[in-house]
Amino acid sequence: MALACAGLAQASPTQEPIQPIQPAKVTNPAAVELGKMLFFDTRLSKSGFISCNSCHNLSMGGTDNLKSSIGHGWQKGPINAPTVLNSRFNLAQFWDGRAADLKAQAGGPIANPGEMAFTHELAVETLKTIPGYLSAFRKAYGSDEVSVDRITSAIAAFEETLVTPNSRFDKWLKGDKKALSADELAGYKLFKDSGCVACHNGPAVGGGSFQKMGLVEAYKASSPAEGRVAVTGKDADRFNFKVPTLRNVELTYPYFHDGAANTLPEAVDTMGRVQLGKKFTAEENARIVAFLRTLTGDQPRFTLPILPPSADATPRPRPFE
């Protein structure tokens, strides 16, 4: 194993099935700033308490660490909330891929009665009443017109920036031979040799294909969701789900579309059995988990608190001023 890992350490990044995450390139900073405000604004929900960040918490790996998210009226969804971090690399959005891109995805939760339970029309009318938002739309798009198209475009522009470069694994890919330990390198070799990279590859280590959950051994899901078949209507797509990214995976528990695996060792064991037909030993499992933990990169950082524009832009004196 030591010799194998030594050889692995000399590999060129161009020869690897995983590529480093590159920092985001911002072309319209005003749209990104507007999208950030909208992402954190609870006024886009019927209750006034739910925002995009409620289920895709940027301080928790871009998810909420719940088996299924809690929406309007304490409703629980049928599926685990995927991370929004590095979602720009996905071939489509949502587990079943029903949204072609981030812009198409952004409008879904706002009008979903089980999530934010608002309507697009009310979202537009609400934002029109807030002078600070009119100014932000003008800065981003050249006029203060508020529309669903602009709302979703801005949220998507912000989400495009939510990438997590500079993980220890990326540093190793770029030539830092000391970035990974022997066990972590051994875990990466197992990850490749076992076939995990057939689905978990590319910059996001996933997100690039739809695959059947339970390829070798039937998977008994705790969720009624049936995956891609809901979009295509083809029985062959039943239980086909978008392969999740493994970037920052140590932060995004619980795992799978039904949130059934609470820990990384449990997830690795299950995936080995149902997808690969392989039972990892405790040592192999620990090494793969050690590798997976090296995929955590720089998390998004913002000046806090993030306060969307007030409904009243007129300064008011506070008591005792």
Q: Which amino acid is at 319?
A: P
Asked if 157 contacts 151 with a C-beta cutoff of 8 angstroms, the reply is: no
Q: Can you list the alpha helix ranges (DSSP code H) found in 19-119?
A: 29-40, 52-55, 102-111
Contacting residues for 169 by C-beta, under 8 A, at least 6 apart: 18, 179, 180, 188, 291, 294, 295
Asked if 131 contacts 116 with a C-beta cutoff of 8 angstroms, the reply is: no
- From the candidates 115, 159, 160, 284, which is the catalytic residue? 115
User: What is 292-319 written as a DSSP string?
Assistant: HHTT--PPP---SS--PPPS--S--PPT
> What count of other Cβ atoms lies within 10 Å of the Cβ of residue 15?
7
Does 115 participate in catalysis according to the annotation? yes
Q: Which amino acid is at 117?
A: A
Question: If we measure between CA atoms, which residue out of 11, 1, 3 comes closest to residue 172?
Answer: 11
Question: Nearest 5°: phi and psi at 178?
Answer: -95, 0
Asked if 241 contacts 227 with a C-beta cutoff of 8 angstroms, the reply is: yes
List residues with catalytic annotation: 115
